Chain A
Amino acid sequence: MTAAQAVLDRVTRVPGVRGALIASAEDGLVVAEQLMDGVDGRAAAALAGSLVGRLARTADGAGRRAPAFVQLRAERGSILVAPCPKDLVLIAVVAADANVGLARLEMLDAASRLH
């Protein structure tokens, strides 16, 4: 199993997580994914990549450090994004009743180990 697959495995094991993927932030393209049916990984990668890029530029413009974790909450669930080294982002698509706290811990830990 590759390092990327191991990371995705740990994140998707958290209750309520419907899929996880690693994308390249600059391109918004999927690098690795583990998704349940009905989750559009390509869209998540493109949009999350763009979101992280914009947030980083905004933070930079305001003289702040780029965020280490982003939660985008919608009606039927959330998208969680953790920027990783090497211009990668770790993304999780989670249901409304997911354990976001646990997912966040797993993602931050995994993100730091994606070298």
Chain B
Amino acid sequence: MRALEPWVEAPLQTFLAESSARLTLLMTSSGQVVAQHGFSRSLDVMTAAALGAGIGASTEELARLMGSSRFEALVHHGARQSCLLAGFGTPRGRWIGLVVFGPETSVGIVQLFFDQMVQQLASAARRDEPAAVRLPENFEHELDASLKALFGR
């Protein structure tokens, strides 16, 4: 498991243990990765987050067009594994969770513990107020050197 913010770790860990999910990805609604478990390549995680956020955004928009509020969750039943996509509010804005699970667990279990994680994330976020932070002084200087190296010009 890998979480960008330490306070996300405990709720996610509990979810993973209780739900037996194979892959879990938490992202912001604009597709930025917040935490993940089960992926081996960080670049693939970004792709999954972009696609997950895209699905989340379009189903929400679709729900609005059809005059309902938002869809709670989207479940895709596959032959060998299934997938749950659910949006939720956090004190840090709207996030989306993407969970891939197999027949060793069930959609009911995954949904149950997902909702529990959402509650735990909400209270953990309130305890961990973000501090105002700055990049190091030399960032801009090093940036020039890095861009030169990367783009070769």
Contacts and interface: CB of A to CB of B under 8 A. Distances in A.
Interface stretch (A42-50, A67-75, A92-100): A42-50
Interface string A56-84: 00000000000000000000000000000
Interface of A is mostly: helix
B112 A27 contact: no
A46 B106 CA distance: 7
Interface residues of A, number: 13
Nearest to B105: A50
Nearest to B111: A46
A42 B103 CA distance: 19
Contacts of A45: 108
Nearest to A25: B106
B23 interface: no
Nearest to B75: A27
Interface of A: 23, 26-29, 42-43, 45-47, 49-50, 53
Interface of B: 103, 105-109, 111-112
